[in-house]
Amino acid sequence: MGVKSIDRDNSKRLMVFAGTSSKALGGRIADRLGIELGDVIIKRFEDGEIYVRFEESIRGADIFLVQSTSTPVNESLMELLIMINAAKLASAHRITAVMPWYGYSRQDKKSSPREPITARLIAQMLEAAGVDRVLTMDLHAGQIQGFFQIPVDHMTATPILADHFLERQFADDFPEGLVVVSPDAGRAKLANHFAAKLGARLAVLAKQRPEHNEAEITFLIGDVKGKAALLIDDMIDTAGTLCAGAAVVKKAGATKVLAAATHGIFSGKAYDRLQDSVIEEIVVTDTIQVQEGSVGGKIQVLSVDRILADTVHNVFCDESVSEIFAGENQLF
């Protein structure tokens, strides 16, 4: 039998469990911490109701529940809420929800009358279930942290993505030079920071949204002619915006177009769009489980297990989380 927990000063005990949507990632995090993933039964009754039971004692333990609220979003969310409640009733000392992808994060404000602010509702539901702390990664909007009455640790995959493309530059994969392209003005700060890390130039696409999951690219600010263009964003969902932006950048004279994002949602016709697009390579992380090499081999997946494991360790040991990212985990 392997080690199921980490003890600190014979008074604190760390345990890691994972929900259905993040079982593989949870296992890698536990491996990084030098422990085994905790045993938890998660099953569904015939009518779709979810049942959760921890298979070992968690009384007095500092437990971390790894679960991205990815597709199917509502089932993943409900599963996490039930896991939190089960841990609360089992007398866990502290319950931390590790949500690499925070579902409903795009519904962070009212854009039209009679709309909900669902990202805040999710925060209230997590608190009502009994969570003590939330760890999440590359939120769509920074204000989501303010929707909680409990601590929220915000992590970022920017260092992982930046290191990947730095290695590509050292290998001279972009002899023509690289331009980092922001998909809209709202992501310009992130893209500028990313460009600075790579020693690259910055360009910005301007867009408008006539409907949800629809975007129209209006114009490009910056020069990409004769350069390799890297479109950077926090997520790729239906890929409509990404593919439209890539076409504009290619038409403006980019020699090749690449894309990078933390969260690869890939819903709807995303794979078909990416397959037919001018984008040559898409780099995402495993905050959401993605099939490596899909879309004709275009998709490459980088793991965030080290960052998440380091964050879990520091939270457990009451050490700084921002030091892991050199204070660069609040770039909005």
Which amino acids are annotated catalytic? 207
For tokens 């841990």, what's the residue?
87
CA atoms within 13 A on the CB side of 179: 27
User: Measuring CA to CA, which residue among 187, 185, 205 is closest to residue 139?
Assistant: 187
As a whole number of angstroms, the distance between CA 109 and CA 103 comes to 14
**Helix count and strand count (H, E) for the chain:** 9, 15
Crossing angle for the helix pair 158-170 and 188-198, nearest 10 degrees? 40
As a whole number of angstroms, the distance between CA 193 and CA 295 comes to 29
As a whole number of angstroms, the distance between CA 137 and CA 150 comes to 16
Is residue 205 within 8 Å of 184, Cβ to Cβ? Answer: yes
Beta bridge partners of 179: 201, 229
